[in-house]
Structure 1
Amino acid sequence: MRVHLADDHTMFREGLAAILSSRDGIEVVGQTGTGPEAAAEVERSKPDVVITQLEMRLKEAEEVLSGLRSASPGSRIVVLTMLENLRYMQAVSKMGIDALLHKGSSAEEVVATIDVLSRTPEDQNMVVSMPRALLERLGEEPMGTLSERETEILVLAARGLSNRLIAAELFISEGTVKRHLANIYAKIGVRSRSEAVRTALMEQWIGIHEITSASADGAVDGAVDSPADDIEEQRE
């Protein structure tokens, strides 16, 4: 099987390429990031399998996958992601992919997935390898549902607190706050904390009474007062 790897993390991509190249029957024919260069290289090489990282918002993920499918309709697409929220998993699984793997999967699981795809027709059921706890919840939680911790973080963001202050308030790391916000954005399909707050208020996932330090308008405006946090989150 001829394989193309599209991942923005060079060390991970090169490590996976080395492992796959050492296996009989697998040839890594290309490596790129997940940008436009991925579709261009896939169109040129027409690999049997494209393994692509998806750690972006749903709209961007759909654009990446659409570009890959158009570039090489006959290639099987395997998605790797670190994101662990149900809406994202459900949505990506409906984007015409052949396999969905957690990025924490072992190399053996990736190799096994390629082997399965080499022996099954394109209309076969999608291959999924996710943490057991997440698999047990797939399809059970309503799309857009926020966890208790995500709701806490969104309320504090609505009050205008920066990532650093949210972390201090909840006794967690700033990195954990960023990961929760990324999951919130992907889960409800938004691009910034101000959009997330407005959506949460409209959907009544959080109430005005919870934003005790500001009025409704002020709370949303306060959420925009940390542009550096939004920019930094988009880079993550």
Structure 2
Amino acid sequence: MTQKDLSSLIHVSRQTISNWEVERSYPDLESIVLLSNVFDCSLDSLLKDEPDIIRNINRNKIKNTLIKIVGILLSLGTSVSILVNFASEQTINWSLVPLSGSIFFMTFLVSVLKIPKFPLFSATLLSYVPLICIFLSIKYNSENMDIQILTKIVSLWFLYYVIIIYLVEMTKIEFYKILLIAASLSLPMEYLTRIIWHSDFSTMDLIIKVILIMVFGILCLIKPQGNAINKWLTKYRLYAYNQCVGLK
């Protein structure tokens, strides 16, 4: 039986079968059941010499359990806040803040745990709309807040965060160099924020921050290679890449 024949029987791509064979990725429980039916063997015999697959299944169970528990707790907390808000004021105003906050947190959590292709970057992008909803709910309860200015500032720093996540997850840049880039980018970001907020930016503040970034840059560049954080980051990037390849 060829990879193409098997992939058509269990409804996955041929590349996915290839990735399973070289242990670049592992089948989920549904695919394992289909494989047992195709090869007419029990699940026990199929998984007997495959501890990595079992660990992958257990990992997915833990993820699903965590999502359920957090979802239930957030739902209960949000429901209580809405009931208390309505009972005390006969309207729903301040309870919109924990509601939108719960939606934001669940969106980020589910995205990180369930999206195999670059989970941090994907979760960041998907969390933008719930994040704006948080500030809209705050604006609803505050008459003194300029929502247009706030939205511009939030969007600006959200873009900054997306860039950092991109560098962490999709490049080969070392961790301390990413910190240097983040520190360097923070200066123009703060300058733009002050412009949007119509706030002054003193020359002395600028000089001090430039000096601090230069000192930080020197410390980052002389950091010895092969440290634990860089090793962890390399492993994570390899995992994210393999997950992407496994989807093709």
What's the TM-score, normalizing by structure 2? 0.26
Give the structure, 1 or 2, with the largest relative contact order (CA under 8 Å, sep 6 or more): 2
**Structure having the larger proportion of residues in helix:** 2
What's the TM-score, normalizing by structure 1? 0.27
Between structure 1 and structure 2, the one with the greater Rg is 2
